[in-house]
Amino acid sequence: MMGLCLRCNREVYEIHERGTQGATDGKPNRIGPMLEWGTQVCFLLSDGSSVDVAMCLECANSLAVEEFQAVWDLVCEKSRAIQVAAGRSENQVKACLTDLMSKFPLAILHKRREGVIPGTLVIDRR
């Protein structure tokens, strides 16, 4: 979910508001700045594109190449949950996920975090 580490679900962004109804009850609804232990891991995908995944530093630093596919499976699973929560039909969900599921992560390009200036990102050298 938004604002949480993909692997351990630890908050990596300040949570300003949580959902109060149905599928979003208790889940982050509105987030703020990244917390000091948060980072974005930028993965290079098999089609040449890249994707940023929010993680805590502990999970990001312990991530081994063998775990890349498991991380990507979590990305696909979370994307599916978002589509279902949005009320999409099964056919619409499959159409949205087909492209996503045809890719796989090859490498980590870099880790980065929010800069001191809001809305900016800097390479995380920790």
Tell me phi and psi for residue 10, to 5 degrees: -75, 145
Structural domain containing residue 60: 13-123
Query: What number is the average pLDDT over the span 81-97?
Result: 87
> CB-based contacts of 105: which residues, under 8 Å, 6+ apart?
43, 44, 45, 46, 51, 68, 69, 71, 72
Residue 4 domain-assigned (yes or no) = no
Q: Is the pLDDT of residue 114 over 70?
A: no
Instruction: Indicate the pTM of the whole model.
Output: 0.77
* 117 pLDDT above the threshold of 70: no
Tell me the per-residue pLDDT of 40-78, one tens digit each, with 9 for 90 and over.
999 999 999 999 999 999 999 999 999 999 999 999 998
Give dist(CA 96, CA 92) in Å, integer: 6
Establish if 49 belongs to a structural domain. Answer: yes
In a domain, 88, yes or no: yes
Minimum mean pLDDT range among 20-29, 36-45, 115-124: 115-124
Say how many domains are in the chain: 1
